[in-house]
């Protein structure tokens, strides 16, 4: 192994260690309270050394967001592979997104961090994160197009706009449940399972019957 390759490997190992430390800190203190100093201490690094790899806390969060999006994309692909028609694949993606939130609430928060923070436009980490988001949305578009081709989804939908709509609405439902799940059950007698199934049934009807 040459000097350049060794340096790149060592850099990646250091970055991975910082991100692992950051996840630990975020789980303990939360996204708002966590600081760069906390991450550096957890990673057993000086603050100055950490800044050689990340310019700010925001860049660390964006890098973690990129990793989370890659994991979500992989879970989407795995879920879709088990289905045949386009509408079945889209449904599987929806349930995979909800399952991802239940299993990895911090990673869900990190993904949605991108919706409100874009950091430095020149950041390599931000560009990587945006590419991961585009790949994930792109896979949703692919499943929608398959549904249009096999006629399980209306031929009149716009695949990209529909993918973005599904992403936004699903995120909103998850955020509602994360805050008001107990209130839905207590005040309205609505259980989480019935609430999400009702949502998916409405989405199915829209996708199958939509006409401009």
Mean pLDDT by 10 residues, the chain (212 residues): 72 92 95 94 93 91 93 97 96 96 93 67 78 95 98 97 96 89 87 91 95 89
- Residue 117 is predicted with a pLDDT of 60
**How many angstroms separate the CA atoms of 32 and 157, rounded?**
39
**How many angstroms separate the CA atoms of 150 and 147, rounded?**
5
The CA radius of gyration of the chain, in Å to the nearest whole number, is: 20
Token code pair at residue 110: 């990190």
- Residue 115 is predicted with a pLDDT of 64
- Residue 178 is predicted with a pLDDT of 85
Q: What is the DSSP letter of 152?
A: S
3-state secondary structure of 155: coil
Q: In the chain, what's the furthest Cα-to-Cα distance? A: 65
CA angle centred on 67, ends 63 and 68, rounded to 5°? 115
- Residue 182 is predicted with a pLDDT of 86
Q: What is the pTM of this model?
A: 0.88
Token code pair at residue 115: 């919706």
- Residue 127 is predicted with a pLDDT of 87
Nearest one of 69, 7, 18, 81 to 44, comparing CA atoms? 18
Token code pair at residue 69: 């999006």
Q: Which domains does the chain have, with CATH numbers?
A: 1-54 (1.10.10.60), 57-209 (1.10.357.10)
Report how far Cα 187 is from the mean position of its chain's Cα atoms: 30
Residue with tokens 């964006």: 62
Q: Is 154 exposed, middle or buried (0-12, 13-18, 19+ CB in 10 A)?
A: middle
């Amino acid at each position: 192994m040459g000097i350049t390759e060794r340096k790149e490997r060592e850099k990646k190992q250091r970055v991975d260690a910082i991100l692992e430390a950051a996840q630990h800190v975020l789980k303990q203190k939360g996204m708002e309270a966590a600081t760069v100093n906390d991450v550096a201490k957890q990673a057993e690094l000086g603050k100055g050394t950490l800044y050689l790899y990340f310019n700010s806390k925001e860049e660390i969060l964006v890098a973690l967001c990129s990793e989370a999006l890659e994991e979500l994309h992989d879970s989407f692909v795995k879920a879709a592979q088990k289905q045949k028609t386009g509408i079945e694949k889209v449904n599987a993606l929806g349930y995979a997104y909800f399952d991802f939130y239940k299993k990895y609430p911090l990673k869900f928060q990190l993904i949605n961090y991108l919706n409100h923070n874009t950091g430095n436009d020149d950041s390599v980490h931000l560009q990587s994160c945006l590419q991961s988001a585009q790949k994930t949305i792109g896979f949703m578009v692919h499943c929608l197009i398959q549904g249009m081709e096999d006629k399980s989804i209306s031929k009149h939908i716009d695949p990209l706009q529909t993918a973005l709509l599904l992403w936004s609405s699903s995120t909103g439902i998850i955020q509602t449940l994360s805050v008001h799940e107990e209130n839905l059950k207590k005040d309205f007698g609505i259980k989480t399972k019935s609430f999400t199934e009702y949502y998916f049934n409405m989405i199915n009807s829209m996708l199958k019957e939509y006409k401009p």
